[in-house]
Structures are given as C-alpha cells and as structure tokens.
Amino acid sequence: MIEKMKESCLPVGIDGICVATGSFVLDLHDMAQYRNEDAQKYTRGLGQYHMSVCAQDEDIVTMAASAAYPLIKNSTEGIRTLLFATESSIDQSKAAGLWVHKLLNLGQDCRVVELKQACYSATAALRLACSHVQAFPEEKVLVIASDIARYELDSVAEPTEGCGAVAILISANPRIIKVGSVSGIYSEDVMDFWRPNYRTCAIVDGKYSTKIYLKSLKLAFGDYLQRGGLELDRFKGFCFHTPFAKMALKAYQTLKGSLDSLDEKILEPALKYSRTLGNCYTAALYIGLASLLDSGSLAAHDKVAMFSYGSGCVSEFFHLELVPGFEKWLCSRLHQERLVQRKQLSYEQYRQWHQWQVPQDGHLHYFAKNIESGYRLRGVEDHKRLYEHVMNS
C-alpha cells in the first residue's frame, strides 16, 4: 500500500517564469476567409482566435533567449544547468541551448542539454531540474521550452499552428510555486503525431490524437490518485496541455464527467494566452501556467493541477502550490506588451513564409530584418546559424 502524501510538495520549484513568442500574428478569421470556411469552426470549434508566427529572422533560439533574458538579467548566480526542451530542433547534434547560453552570457561552468519527447519534454526537464536542485540546493536550473508548431498548408491541423517559448528558473525555496511530490504517469507507443527527420511539418492523425490525449489523461490521473494525489475539488486552477483551447475543456470534462459555464470560467484564465498564440508544443502547458498566474485569479497556497501530454505518447499529472507573495515575481506586464506588440500578418504573407526554409547550400545568406530589437537570426554561413542581440536604439 502506497502511503498517502496528498499535501506534500518538494522543497523546490519555480522561482521565475517568462514567456516570449514570434513577432507576428495571424488572425484566424483571415485563414477562414481564404479557406472558405466558417470562422466559428476555429473560434468556437477549436477555441482559437489568432496564431503567433515567427519571421525569417526568428527561431526557437531567439524566442528562447527572449523568454529567459528577464529571468537572468540581474543575476546568473547558481545557474549551472540549462535544459532546453523542443521538438523543433535546428540541429541533430548540437543542443539549441548552447546558442542561448552564448546569447545570455551564461557561465562556462553551466552544462547545456536538449531534451525531446514531443510536447512532454518540458515536464521531463522540470522533473530533472527539481531532482537536481534537491540534490544540490545551492544550484539553479534554467529550463527553457521553445517550439514552432507547423502542419501542412490547407490541412485540418493548420489552424492549430503557433509558436512560443517559456523560460522557468528552478530553485530551492522558490518565490512563485512549489512542485508537488506526487505524480501520475501514463506512456504508450502510439502513432498519433510525429515528424520524421526529413520533414519540416508534423504528420498527425488528428482525431486519434485527441482520443489518445484523453485516454492518457484518465490513466495518468488514476495513477496520480493511486499514489496519494489530491482529489479534483482541491484545485483552484487547472492547466492542461493545450494544442487548442477546446482540448482543455474536453480534458476537464473527461475528468469531471460534465462541463458547465462555471467550469469554463475556472478554466479560462489558463487559456487566455493560448487562444492568441496557438499551439506552442513543449511550451504550451507552461505558457498556460503563466497565463493563469498573470490572471490574478489565484491566492497564496492555492493548488494548481497540471497535465502534460506529449504525442507518441508520454503524459504526467501532478500539482503545484503557490507561495505567499508570488505575484511580485511575475512578468505579467511584459507578457501583455509582447502579445500586443506583435505585428499583423496577412494570410498571403503567412503562406509565403510557411514555404520558406533556411538555405541549405552552405553559402552566406543574410535574412531580411523583421526584428527591430531583441534576439535575431541574422543569417547562415557554412551551415552555421548566425545570431545577434539588437539593442533598442
């Protein structure tokens, strides 16, 4: 018999959390018009209004650096590990985090690793980071999740594209959230969503993927309860992996057996950013957490349910607990600015950009300057990506 550990949290957790996204935004009404579809299929059917889009001089590294910079700009003390979660890898060998490490001037005594398991790997990184900090409480781990969700143009999955990054600083005695000690896990070898190395767009069996997601949720939550987890009515907030907002509603309905307007109100704070960014794969769950924290709907000691799902599939259900004074350490205003400052993209322009690929001929190519300040991908030369930090003039 496994001992009940309901309330317990690890002495470690999230000390800082910050979100970044692409600099452009596409209104899904424009996509609906082009595809001659009812826009309500996206806004009501999927729960999505916009998607963030990266310009040619942005990628997972530039978004990751923008997400992490506010957390480390005053101090990098204690950061001896950077874990980079992504499924939009830019190299088969080198960790994307090494470019971020340089852009952020992190110390040379900081190890850097990239992790992959579809959208789940950010949670794997969080778990590894927590275990590491428990063993070495004087150290901090910078976890970054960064992704660009891409499907074929004109596919049913296209309206669920998006892009974004989230940086999370894990420390002992965290200022924002402690991580619960119980977790429920469900893994199974399935082909619901995958991307062979030779493809730039994911292949997805859409309807099947939603079924496997919900099956995983039920079984991971069952495992969580069996291991001494909290009952549903103990949570003041819910974050489900959000490929599109409606999926989170279906997830809650699956756990509770019903969904009424009050439930939708409880779920909404975690969905606000997702409805306008689109799917951000590894970053999606933690962007949902930032959205919930920024909403002002939670208080100290409230518990938040977390469900992480990565196709293929691995899933995990666990909980977090808010630390008194957490509000002071959020990046809420910066998040609002970043969302509002995105530039509108026409659907025709978006289609052109969608077809574009980083040149593969090994020659020197400089990319059009779409980013006025912040981190940008300047170009490529000898098959190497060239990054720069553009300061505000």
| Binding positions for ligand HMG, rule: CB under 6 A | 38, 40-41, 44-46, 87, 118-119, 156-157, 160, 192-193, 204, 206-207, 209-210, 213, 241, 243-244, 247, 279, 281, 309-311
- Of 155 and 332, CB closest to ligand HMG: 155
- Of 113 and 191, CB closest to ligand HMG: 191
Closest approach of ligand HMG to the CB of residue 216, in Å? 9
Peptide bond into 313 cis (omega under 30): yes
Q: Which residues are CB-neighbours of 352 under 8 A, at least 6 positions away?
A: none
- Beta carbons of 249 and 47 less than 8 angstroms apart: yes
Q: Is 87 a catalytic residue?
A: yes
Closest approach of ligand HMG to the CB of residue 293, in Å? 21
- Of 61 and 157, CB closest to ligand HMG: 157
Residue of 87, 114, 139, 158 with catalytic role: 87
Q: What SS3 state is found at 114?
A: strand
Which residue's Cβ lies closest to ligand HMG? 45
Cross-strand partners of 193 = 204
- Beta carbons of 184 and 317 less than 8 angstroms apart: yes
- Of 309 and 317, CB closest to ligand HMG: 309
Residue of 101, 132, 241, 319 with catalytic role: 241
Closest approach of ligand HMG to the CB of residue 267, in Å? 15
Residue of 54, 110, 119, 163 with catalytic role: 119
Closest approach of ligand HMG to the CB of residue 371, in Å? 26
Closest approach of ligand HMG to the CB of residue 118, in Å? 3
DSSP H or E stretch at residue 26: strand 24-27
**Amino acid (1-letter code) at residue 389:** H
Backbone angles phi, psi at 216, to 5 degrees: -60, -40
Query: DSSP characters for 189-216?
Result: ---SEE--TT-SS-EE-HHHHHHHHHHH
Measured CA to CA, the distance from residue 195 to residue 150 in angstroms comes to 10
Query: What residues are labeled active site?
Result: 87, 119, 241
